[in-house]
Structure 1
């Protein structure tokens, strides 16, 4: 696998991971007992920390990528395993 492919696939995993980890640990102003800024939505996070999201997304995407790469090298799950046409009766 080329280095550019590795970077591109890891980046896709990173974006997916960022959206997956973003809601964990977020609290609203009401839940934390702090005052809202005028015009703030009631559901807006009061403790948004992008560094924590970047770190969590990076760790998760790295783990997912290495699982993907191990499958790519060892052929644990192939396209033949994903063939559902016998189940459909075609």
Structure 2
């Protein structure tokens, strides 16, 4: 895996994990009024920084696992049981 591919895979992992982490701990404002700038579905305390930190940690572990699998011969199309036959 080259550095550009590694960055793109990390970005995709981070973005996917972010959307998985965003709903954790959300408690909607029950009496939010649009005139006050609130909305009933808006969270009281979104804790975006905490979620971004957790997203980074989880995405890094996930990316490291993907990197190890790609670098190993366990899942390879060049050699092993998944190898394509030469023409």
TM-score, structure 1 normalization: 0.71
Whichever structure has more helix as a proportion of its residues is: 1
Which consecutive segments of 4 or more residues in structure 1 shift more than 4 A? Answer: 78-81
Match of 2:50 in 1: 52
**Greater relative CO, 1 or 2 (CA 8 Å, sep 6+):** 1
Structure 2: how far apart are the matches of 1:76 and 1:7? 22
2:63 alignment partner, SS class: helix
Where do 5+ consecutive residues of structure 2 fail to align? 83-87
CA-atom RMSD in angstroms:
1.9
TM-score, structure 2 normalization: 0.73
Q: How many residues align?
A: 76
